[in-house]
Structure 1
Amino acid sequence: MTHPIKSPRKLIEVALPLDAINKACAREKSIRHGHPSTLHLWWARRPLAAARAVIFAQMVNDPGYQQGGGFKYGKNKKDAAIERKRLFKIIEDLVLWENTTKEEFLEPARAEIRRSWREVCELNKGHPQAAELFNPDKLPALHDPFAGGGAIPLEAQRLGLEAYASDLNPVAVLINKAMIEIPPKFAGRPPVNPAAVKRGESSATWKGATGLAEDVRYYGAWMREEAQKRIGHLYPPVEITAEMTKERPDLKPLVGQKLTVIAWLWARTVKSPNPAFSHVDVPLASTFILSSKEGNESYVVPIVEGNQYRFTVKIGTPPQGAGQGTKLARGANFKCILSNVAMEGDYIKSEGRAGRMGGKIVAVVVDGPKGRIFIEPTPAMEVCAKSAKPSWSPETSLPDDHRNFWTFNYGITTYGGLFTLRQMEAMTTFAEIIGEARTRIRVDALATGMDDGVCLDKSGEASTKAGAVAYAEAVSVYLACALGRASDYWTSLATWEPGGGFVAHGFTKQAIPMVWDYAESNPFSDGTGNWEQTCVSWVVRVLQNFTPAAGGLCNQADATRQSFSKDKVVSTDPPYYDNIAYADLSDYFYIWMRRSLRSVFPELFSTIAVPKMEELIASPHRHGGNVKAESFFLNGMTEAMRRISNQAHIAFPISIYYAFKQSETKAEGGTSSTGWETFLEAVFQAELSLCGTWPVRTERVNRSVGIGTNALASSIVLVCRKRPSDAPSISRREFIRELNSVLPEALDEMTKGSGEERSPVAPVDLSQAIIGPGMAVFSKYAAVLEADGSPMSVRTALQLINRFLAEDDFDADTQFCLHWFEQFGWGIGESGVADGLARAKNTSENGLVSSGVIFWKGGKTRLLKWAEYPTDWDPRTDLRLPVWEALHQLIRALKQGGESASGALLAALGGKAEAIRQLAYRLYTLCERLGKAEDARAYNDLITSWTGIESAANSVPKPADPQGTLFER
């Protein structure tokens, strides 16, 4: 006799307050101080608000079921709506950043999770696995097998669930240990440093991880003192001399004073290509502006003296061209400062590969009595910088991957090459001192009466054994995180920001760029990029906010081979096909983690570099081309999803985040997105059935364009359950019939107002969200069979769903324009939002630009108005001709040349006439509804003139077709 598990639908399978979640996510992306993402850099993190809301909705039963007369759904809709509204209010409070650590908002959420869990346990009382899976006194744990930056397990822990995190990448593993594993072990413990012990505060003072944070602050300051003793001579102050005041009268009051350097500003150099100056290293400076702050402008002026040059600093408004430096154009194109001879990219690359790329100080930022002062460099400054003699340098090779690593062609081929000699000596010195700090912390911990215990790596879940050794190791983990932050600033990838007056960290992109001008911070200053404020203090702020409500454990594991107990709920954020080279990028931080923490985690840091071949991304340079890379990703992701499907707690759905930027490829049936379809194919083959998709705004659409080959506004949260083993197959015709039955109702549900039981889905996200109900139909069957008996592909299923979403036969570009116009009109929107909508409509931003319907630049997108369309347009030679373009070209022709001109165009458009007319009707109705009277008039004019336009078209002789086809694209 079988005992089916009774599993109520969860809130996430029915409804979410998306507006509140998305607003909180957007706001959170601007929060920096104290945010867990600032503990250590990781790429493409999920916002905490999204993770918190998704986990809550995944754990809580939807109110639309009732008990009585057996397990069934059918609770009074009005009562269910009221109850959902109450749950929505909990989520709306829960997602706000200011409520992240407030128990008055967290505890009601935990209580709802416990209540729902008891209901599930009661429903399954007497089940053979009740003791294993349905213990009402113990909540299920949550497991994330692609833990990455740790947002999901951290929020599970905050909601009272034990958190289990795993990842193949050791850098991700360490971040998760620092976030979810270590804080619970030492929660509530007072600090052990002598200064805190001497103050004698009571243990009640040190809530959560605040005691741990205080020790990180104290021993971080001790590290600075020790490092300054050893390498302080490499960072001397600048004495203001009378000689300096000849060109800078403003420095006269400072003569004789020794000022601390905040940063040295460098430009890379190569040998001049002019034979007359071939012995001179000339600068590759992309700007000479030091400060663009109004009222405090400063800039560099190069002074050429024979076959030499020097730099001086001027105060005031920069002259025209100062912002260009020695740059000629975009990319690696500069001019020789001595001869004005052009230096193109190929020449600069050859100089770099020949080992002739160097650096020259352009200006120095010092800490003056009333703020920062820019002064010109002296030869002694470069001599000092180049006198550093680091005892070690990481010789790990950078990958020859030109998509993500841009220094390789310029001769910078190792991770060590990304640091100057002085930066390398600073990094190695601080890394060595972390080990010394660990010894010191253990001694201080023992002095407080703490037992020695066992080391952190062996303590597992037995927190009672985590004594002085483990505590010292724990503090050193956070000091290593501070060193990771330092490596992001003490690098020749860091730049000076003239607008803000600060050193910008190196990783502003999900890539290692080629930087021409770089800023070298002084670790011992009190300014930007220093050890204590920029590195240690940021880690301390994060730790102070950790108040774990449950335990956590993190380990290194390959998701395609991992096994875990079946009492865990799964929420995860897997890699996005080929968007981010996590392992290659992680080596940048791994080399420093390994140097400072290898004795603490010998197994985690046993390899010279981060594991690469097993990493689950479609990397062509690693797997020998796009086809093999796609196959590797599909096979690996299918196996990972199959393991999740087979091992996740059967009473709960699985939630999976996925964000992938559309890359347009031509194929039969239209445009497709390989990354998105391949992932859905893996989900389907893993016998998972979709029961919902939610577009959650998880990406910063205003971030640096380079951060993003993955510049999306939304992640799609897929909600899945295991497909029954006896699921039937259906025919293509039956599938389409079911789509036509299900999707209209789903669309109606998604557009309901917030006064009902769900928040409305925004128009730009509606297309992506409704793929969920469509794929739910597809994925609940073992197969959808084509006419020849072959199984339908995910690509075909998506095309059929998209056809329904179009509500007509409009092409993909026109569908995009329609939905964009409904949301933004002719206004400007973020390109990340546009890309998400384009992906949903089976097109792409690049394709839309080439079709001539949108303007896209600098992260902004807008539709072109009819007046902006070209007057010399010929539809007979246009290879990409959306109905939207044809309509607005007709309006332009009508406005500028009357019915005869628009009739001539209509004649050339062939079979598109009816689609154009339908689109004009639809847009007129839409403009009326949106109150866009002027726009409505343009479409009305075309419609009222249609008879005359058709008459004019009929009088035009049919044009010859240069392509040999009718123009019915």
Structure 2
Amino acid sequence: MTNQALPKRLIEVDLPIKRISAHSRREKSIRHGHISTLHIWWARRPLAACRAVICAALWPDPADEHCPPAFREAARKAMLDWARNHLALVSAESFPRLVAIQKDAARLDDALELRHALLDFIADFANWDNSTVKEYLDTSRALTQAAHEALGGASGTRPLVVDPFAGGGSIPLEALRVGADAFASDLNPIPVLLNKVVLEYIPKYGHRLADEVRKWGAWIKQEAEKELAEFYPKDPDGAMPIAYLWARTIRCEGPGCGVEVPLMRSLWLAKRANRSVALQLLPDHRGKRVDLRIIVKQRHGWSDQTDSTNGINAPKLDGTVRRGSATCPCCGYTTPVARVREQLKARNGGANSARLVCVVTTRRGESGRQYRLPTERDLLAVDKASKRLEELARSNTNELALVPNEELPLMSGVFNVPIYGHTTWGSLFSYRQALTLSTIARLLRELGNSPHSLEEGILATLCMCLGRQADNLTSLVTWTPGGEFQGHTFTRQALGMIMDFAEVNPWSGGSGDWSGAVDWVARVCDEIASAALSMGHVQQASATQHPLPDDSVASVITDPPYYNAVPYADLAQFFYVWLRRSVTGGLSDLFRERETPKDQEICEMAGWDPARYPQKNGKWFELQMTAAMSEARRVQRPDGISVVVFAHKTTGGWESMLQAMIEAGWILVASWPIDTERGARLRARNSAALGSSVHLVCRPRENPDGSLRTGDVGDWRDVLAELPRRIHEWMPRLAEEGVVGADAIFACLGPALEIFSRYSRVEKASGEVVTLREYLEQVWAAVAKEALAQVFKDADTAGFEPDARLTAMWLWTLNAGAINGDESPADEEEADDEEETKGKSAKAKGGFVLEYDAARKIAQGLGAHLEDLDHVVEVSGESARLLPVSERTQYLFGKEQADAPTGGRKKKAAQMDLFGELTKIGADETAWTEKTVKKIGETTLDRVHQAMILFAAGRGEALKRFLVEDGAGRDQRFWRLAQALSALYPSATSEKRWVDGVLARKKGLGL
């Protein structure tokens, strides 16, 4: 049987990506019970997207001529039952269709209507609120079983979904939820343990696991608190300290000074609309010290917290640290960042020589936080904790050091803390923090080794609590004045230096404490148990050596690493060192080695750390990914379908991934962009990141017996003839779902590559083999032409010169029109590490940036060449920048009028380009000097830009002469292009306002 004769799955023909994307985005804000709160793992896929994709991949399309009649009938019964009995559960989008079905069951005799009913169900089921609703679960599982049996699966068995890069567990969890079996594997022990909890232990124990976690979590709290109570004393008045705020210190290196300077980014403690509290630095020049007091803002102004009658002038609350350098409050000398580093390095990072500056407390029966200065009692407790830790370290008989002494490597952009002296994982923790975590680790070991040893599943789940507590209890945790809470360590995929930090009291009952960690984990257990899942299987294995036999899998669905996007193994070492000191019994096998497996992890690491990973370059990554994709095809049944999630930022990355899949023997049949990310996340603000994750749908290029088809040769002329037709069919459907720009380009890859990858090779008439790269050039050209037709709708695009076509396509590719408002990261804490802030102070250029190769392909697809358009595009290294209108003044008006506006108020909006770097767009809102058009522009784009600048300069009469007397406005191409640019420019940019201003003049001028 050929692939063409196989029944198509729903995901090959349609997917309600707009609604699935909405559920995926919303899921980012859901906390309690979500798998993401069980334990940190990076780049975890949203459950909504996974659930929808798995259903659509497993269920046949009832409208396909080869759909098994048994499934079509089962789907008809299921949707009819849904319409008759469950209307109250569904969303507004699917309600009209189901109401119509309820009134007229014969509608489901139409296979297309049945397809849409199934897609509506999938979109509704993607909603987090429906993930444990019995009716949704029962229906999805019935459909999955019906599909499995109709496609040849043995009665009583379930389809097997495999994820060889299981990571955070979203994909295998959703496979179980919809009624499939799941096999999850990963090379790293942390996700293996995490997946065991989710896929094996929660289904095995059900709600009992949550009860056991709460029970034994309370026992650990009781035992640990008993041992550690003296190190976390309550206040004499009964108040409970919930957090201790610390500042690392250096000695001022100003001439004759030597004052101990507390390193603080900000002095704010509470910063709310109705409540402001801050620390005030009190320089004692004579005593050569810096004292502190707490001040509060009342209606009448600032005052001393202890004496409200003591009025204070508006204080400066900027802190002492900026970009890693430290300014002395006494003498004003600024110790440069290099010397700050050297001083902290001499103190092993300075966590244990930091100054306690404030204690945050709560009182039973009272709302809100209170703040007080530290007392001798607080300092004595810290000193006693350090001595206890030293005693325990000396008497430790475990082969592992009490406090993790494994090396913390320097990795620029990932681990910058070693620059400041944090060279071991244990150095990230103050003495008291390390004492607390080592106590919890010991108690977990005792539970595992006791005569009535704790069952493996319960112990593993309690280890999730330890991971959460460790994340909350380092010297890299910040205090957030806006919400009055402490954060956690991994707010991003890196460890950057934090000069002042918050230490949670783990026994306080406040956020970030041990009871909270236990509760978060127990809630996940309860939530997943509510779905009544069957048990999955989890195994530690490399994706390049999969343990399953040939042709045994219904579907491989996976989210592989993207080159060097996330250094998983190195990040996971943070948790690994503590889990090694906690687990016992069978779980110990996962943690035998000193470090997480790094050499064989498929991540391109040579750029992060060339000293440790010289061999793990881009070529190595591509070879390993090809091997992994080959293994996925080997275990996939010949009639099955797989989905690979990919979201790399460069066209080169995409080409390499696609090459790996084709070489591994896959035919790509569809691709769907699902919006899985928040646009304002920190990762998106500081580097190129796709707004969507593209789901590449593929089938094995195999014979019915599982052997690879190698003799299929395609004719280049036939492939080229079919390509534009396929793109023309696909892009309007994407536009209906709101998919435009780069997301639409990548969404076209699947249909385009199906034409190419169905053959073992494609040849020209000469016999020359066509490379994937050569074909992708044609894909880009076809997409560019189709997109341009969409931008200008029914206009004759051939009437526009290359600069106009390129400008329109460039803006469309960036999806600039969808970016609104200012997303500057003002609400993010400023990093102290110079490596993290390097270059931020440089004035950002305006314009719209693309990766050079992407820009070249866009231009080529439009019949243009970048080198001929240097008055529109500036190429610099690996980036290409579409010039803002203000920078084209000299070209458009001549040297004597070349000045751009300066001074005045700025309005900026963050424009996320998808292939380059974060770019600030928009120009200064200021006055221009007088502008006069001496020579009308040669192209339509030039003339539109001239008109925009005249409007911006306030030259109303000159603009009128230009449009009417000079004739620029009498050319309808001028207005069509202006209208297109108005739709494409981001709403917060000057360009958008200027072109709209020109358009507003049209009617009044009789044009």
Same fold (TM over 0.5): yes
Instruction: Give 1:521's aligned residue.
Output: 504
Instruction: Give 2:260's aligned residue.
Output: 281
Q: Please, which of 544, 565, 568 is the counterpart of residue 582 of structure 1?
A: 568
Instruction: Give 1:892's aligned residue.
Output: 948
Instruction: Give 1:217's aligned residue.
Output: 214
Instruction: Give 2:174's aligned residue.
Output: 155
Q: Which amino acid aligns with 2:407?
A: S
Q: Indicate the SS of the match to 1:719.
A: strand
Change (3 A) 1:437 1:702: farther
Distance 1:393 1:812 in 2: 59
Deviations along 1:589-637, one digit per CA (max 9) or x if unpaired, are: 1111111114332321111110111110111145568996101110000
Distance 1:512 1:176 in 2: 25
Q: Please, which of 184, 190, 197 is the counterpart of residue 171 of structure 1?
A: 190
Q: Please, which of 323, 345, 348 is the counterpart of residue 340 of structure 2?
A: 348
Instruction: Give 1:501's aligned residue.
Output: 484
* Cα offset, 1:5, TM superposition: 10
Change (3 A) 1:475 1:783: same
Q: Tell me the C-alpha RMSD between the 2 structures.
A: 4.2
**Identity %, equivalent residues:** 31
Distance 1:581 1:112 in 2: 39
Instruction: Give 1:567's aligned residue.
Output: 552
Distance 2:15 2:593 in 1: 44
Distance 2:247 2:601 in 1: 36
Instruction: Give 2:542's aligned residue.
Output: 558
Distance 1:787 1:856 in 2: 51
Change (3 A) 1:61 1:290: same
Contact 2:7 2:66 in 1 (8 A): no
Contact 1:415 1:588 in 2 (8 A): yes
Instruction: Give 1:313's aligned residue.
Output: 294
User: Where do 1:386-397 residues align within 5 Å?
Assistant: 386-388=383-385, 389-390=388-389, 391=393, 392-397=402-407
Q: Indicate the SS of the match to 1:596.
A: coil
134-143 or 173-182, which moves further after superposition? 134-143
Distance 1:656 1:291 in 2: 46
User: Where do 1:491-890 residues align within 5 Å?
Assistant: 491-533=474-516, 535-547=517-529, 548-565=532-549, 566-568=551-553, 569-620=555-606, 621-622=608-609, 629-662=617-650, 673-705=651-683, 709=687, 711-724=689-702, 725-726=709-710, 728-730=712-714, 734-751=718-735, 761=739, 765-785=743-763, 791-807=769-785, 814-818=808-812, 823-824=817-818, 847=879, 851-852=883-884, 856-857=909-910, 889-890=945-946
Contact 1:816 1:837 in 2 (8 A): no
Instruction: Give 2:414's aligned residue.
Output: 404
Q: Which amino acid aligns with 2:998?
A: A
Contact 1:362 1:376 in 2 (8 A): yes
Change (3 A) 1:598 1:926: same
Contact 2:741 2:812 in 1 (8 A): no
170-179 or 847-856, which moves further after superposition? 847-856
Matched residue count:
831
Q: Indicate the SS of the match to 2:180.
A: coil
Distance 1:276 1:380 in 2: 33
Deviations along 1:184-222, one digit per CA (max 9) or x if unpaired, are: 222xxxxxxxxxxxxxxxxxxxxxx21110111011011
Q: Which amino acid aligns with 1:151?
A: S
Instruction: Give 2:251's aligned residue.
Output: 271
Instruction: Give 2:360's aligned residue.
Output: 365
Instruction: Give 2:436's aligned residue.
Output: 426
Contact 1:828 1:862 in 2 (8 A): no
Contact 1:695 1:716 in 2 (8 A): yes
Contact 2:61 2:67 in 1 (8 A): no
Contact 1:150 1:179 in 2 (8 A): yes
Contact 1:439 1:472 in 2 (8 A): no
Q: Indicate the SS of the match to 1:604.
A: helix
Deviations along 1:933-954, one digit per CA (max 9) or x if unpaired, are: 995673597999999xxxxxxx
Deviations along 1:812-863, one digit per CA (max 9) or x if unpaired, are: 66424136678538766899xx999999877999957673379554979999
Distance 2:983 2:879 in 1: 29
User: Where do 1:96-135 residues align within 5 Å?
Assistant: 96-121=127-152, 134-135=153-154
Deviations along 1:355-395, one digit per CA (max 9) or x if unpaired, are: 37331111110113523210012344234324324331111
1:472 aligns with 2:464: no
Q: Indicate the SS of the match to 2:457.
A: helix
Q: Which amino acid aligns with 2:169?
A: G
Instruction: Give 1:145's aligned residue.
Output: 164
Instruction: Give 2:467's aligned residue.
Output: 484
Instruction: Give 1:66's aligned residue.
Output: 65
* Cα offset, 1:183, TM superposition: 1.8
Q: Indicate the SS of the match to 1:221.
A: helix
Deviations along 1:861-909, one digit per CA (max 9) or x if unpaired, are: 99957986996999xxxxxx9999856632334434689999999xxxx
Distance 2:150 2:476 in 1: 55
* Cα offset, 1:102, TM superposition: 1.1
Q: Which amino acid aligns with 1:558?
A: S
Q: Indicate the SS of the match to 2:585.
A: coil
Unmatched segments (≥5 aa) in structure 1: 122-133, 187-208, 240-256, 444-468, 663-672, 754-758, 875-880, 906-912, 948-969
Contact 1:613 1:622 in 2 (8 A): no
Contact 1:641 1:682 in 2 (8 A): yes
1:335 aligns with 2:316: no
154-163 or 779-788, which moves further after superposition? 779-788
Q: Which amino acid aligns with 1:294?
A: A
* Cα offset, 1:233, TM superposition: 1.0
Distance 1:366 1:882 in 2: 70
Distance 1:839 1:600 in 2: 50
Q: Indicate the SS of the match to 2:483.
A: coil
Instruction: Give 1:303's aligned residue.
Output: 282
Contact 1:486 1:531 in 2 (8 A): yes
User: Where do 1:866-945 residues align within 5 Å?
Assistant: 889-895=945-951, 896=953, 921-924=976-979, 938=998
Distance 2:380 2:943 in 1: 67
Q: Which amino acid aligns with 1:361?
A: L
Distance 1:69 1:524 in 2: 59
Instruction: Give 1:53's aligned residue.
Output: 52
Contact 2:911 2:921 in 1 (8 A): no
* Cα offset, 1:567, TM superposition: 2.4
Contact 1:849 1:856 in 2 (8 A): no
Contact 2:851 2:879 in 1 (8 A): no
Contact 1:894 1:902 in 2 (8 A): no
Q: Indicate the SS of the match to 1:545.
A: helix
Deviations along 1:502-542, one digit per CA (max 9) or x if unpaired, are: 11011101111111111011111111221102x10000100
User: Where do 1:35-46 residues align within 5 Å?
Assistant: 35-46=34-45
Instruction: Give 2:706's aligned residue.
Output: none
Q: Which amino acid aligns with 2:811?
A: C
Distance 1:577 1:695 in 2: 19
Q: Indicate the SS of the match to 1:334.
A: strand
Q: Which amino acid aligns with 1:109?
A: S
